[in-house]
Amino acid sequence: MSRPTIHAPERGDARTRLLDAARDLIRERGYAGTSIDDLCRSAGVSKGAFFHHFAHKLALGVAAAWHWAETTTAFFAAAPYHAPADPLDRVLAYIAFRRSIIAGPIPGFVCLVGTLASEVYVTGPAIRDAAALSIFGHAATLEADIAAAMAERSIASPEPASLARYFQVALQGGFILAKAGNEAALAREALDHLDRYIRLLFNLPLETRHAATH
Amino acid sequence: MSRPTIHAPERGDARTRLLDAARDLIRERGYAGTSIDDLCRSAGVSKGAFFHHFAHKLALGVAAAWHWAETTTAFFAAAPYHAPADPLDRVLAYIAFRRSIIAGPIPGFVCLVGTLASEVYVTGPAIRDAAALSIFGHAATLEADIAAAMAERSIASPEPASLARYFQVALQGGFILAKAGNEAALAREALDHLDRYIRLLFNLPLETRHAATH
DNA sequence: CGAAATACATACCAACCGGTTTGTATCCTG
DNA sequence: CAGGATACAAACCGGTTGGTATGTATTTCG
């Protein structure tokens, strides 16, 4: 209450509105391709509001990466793939879940921090580090299930941490091909290969469920 | 001869010097993060030269993607991984070769057109299409060997074209993680998993050769 | 309640951006 | 060797960029 006084904007305070705008615009046009004016226009705030919350554009980039890490962490923590009792089933359910959310316009499901890391490797080390924290932090959430699944079946071969990172490789690489080919199915296809890789590693029968979806 | 008259530049004509500069600068800072002045300075040419050879910045982006496709096509055509008689050995040799050239500074081995496609998805459809041609064209060069290897061993499961694209997924995804983590070994690690995936698909014994390199 | 801190909005600025104009040296061709 | 085409160089231009200065409602708090 008392929050939206007179010229109530749309929702949330200027800071989160700017971070949401950054998430959307950067995934479409990249970091350098998104101007501060673009962000303010999209968020419906003034430039003064921008520089009240962020010291400079780079700080917005870092904050956007952190914001991405926070929101995705909450999103995946609440996702249904944690339900199965068998850790291997949870791992496979993760892949299926990631696959299921690849739909609609490409910028809508692509990874913000992957785009950021790719673009600002030299120009913005601070953004890159924040992006790395998000990517590798998320990969780490898979590690326990992978390790448990491997231990249960006495599979020693790839290190669980390395395999967990490879999940992100398949995702990020799938996003790149989806963008290039302008076709979301290319990202799903990548996850199908990841799924097959895991099933081969664990000597599971290969499902053919996805064959028709391509 | 008579070419480098008085103020001889460095090497090549202005056009290829600009394309080389674009290859280097865009892989470091992205397309939008690279200004035309940056390109001219790096190439050692004037702005007049730039707009003599390219109608606008977007045309430079498209030409850079084409130039990348041409040079990489020649580079991989001359690479040693085509030597083995068995197509499956050629496929594995491709992975090993790609792995072997991942060394030194990260912008030096990363894929230009992957960076481009990721960044200009919305802002530059022409660049994106040129990047797609390069990525999927290169993937297609693997298709014959993959198909032959699968046919020889009566493996029907993934479509050869899809598997060929997945090679690019592992590469592009590995580049993203390498950039984020600022560590080339992350890209090599991705190719180790791809190698394992192929060996599992073809029921080959898993080598442990790479274990020490991480 | 009063004052300081917070959260914006508006106007403005110098640098830089993509792009144009104009001029000139070299090359190619007849 | 004439003369147009090619391949640059340099100066310039309007709009945009990241960033600042300043002003003002609102909230917080002693």
Using one digit for the tens of pLDDT, what is the confidence trace for A111-159? 999 999 999 988 889 999 999 999 999 999 999 999 999 999 999 999 9
The stretches in chain B having pLDDT less than 50 are 1-10, 209-214
Q: How far apart are CA B175 and CA B68, in angstroms?
A: 17
What kind of architecture, by CATH, is found in domain B56-213?
A: Orthogonal Bundle (1.10)
B158, A114: Cβ pair inside 8 Å? Answer: no
- Which residues 6+ apart lie within 8 Å of B84 measured at CB? B90, B93
Q: Which residue of B has its CA nearest to A132?
A: B180
- Which residues 6+ apart lie within 8 Å of A203 measured at CB? A153
Give residue-wise pLDDT tens across range B88-128. 999 999 999 999 999 999 999 999 999 999 998 888 899 99
Q: Does the CB of B15 sit below 7 A from strand D?
A: yes
Q: How far apart are CA A194 and CA B147, in angstroms?
A: 19
Nearest to A122 among B107, B119, B193 (CB): B107
Of all protein residues, which has its CA closest to the C1' atom of D21? A48
SS (H, E, C) A44-95: CCCHHHHHHHCCCHHHHHHHHHHHHHHHHHHHHHCCHHHCCCCHHHHHHHHH
- Domain limits, chain B: 56-213
> So what's the pLDDT on residue A212?
40
Nearest to B182 among A29, A128, A177 (CB): A128
**Cα–Cα nearest to A97, from A75, A116, A79:** A79
ipTM score: 0.90
Rounded CA–C1' distance between A62 and D3, in angstroms: 60
> So what's the pLDDT on residue A85?
95
> So what's the pLDDT on residue A121?
87
Question: A65-88 burial string, b = 16+ CB within 10 Å, else e?
Answer: bbbbbeebeeebeeeebeeeeebb
The mean predicted confidence, pLDDT, of chain B is: 91
In this structure, which topology does domain A61-213 adopt according to CATH?
Tetracycline Repressor; domain 2 (1.10.357)
Does the pLDDT at position A180 exceed 80? yes
Q: Which residue of A has its CA nearest to B24?
A: A122
> So what's the pLDDT on residue A45?
94
Q: Does the CB of B69 sit below 7 A from strand D?
A: no
Give residue-wise pLDDT tens across range A64-91. 999 999 999 999 999 999 999 999 999 9
**Cα–Cα nearest to A133, from A63, A82, A32:** A63
Q: How far apart are CA B187 and CA B163, in angstroms?
A: 19
Does the pLDDT at position A11 exceed 60? no
Q: Which residue of B has its CA nearest to A139?
A: B177
> So what's the pLDDT on residue B210?
44
Q: How many beta-carbon pairs below 8 A join chains A and B?
A: 192
Nucleotide nearest to B9 (CA to C1'): D8
> So what's the pLDDT on residue A2?
27
Neighbours of B177 (CB within 10 A): 26
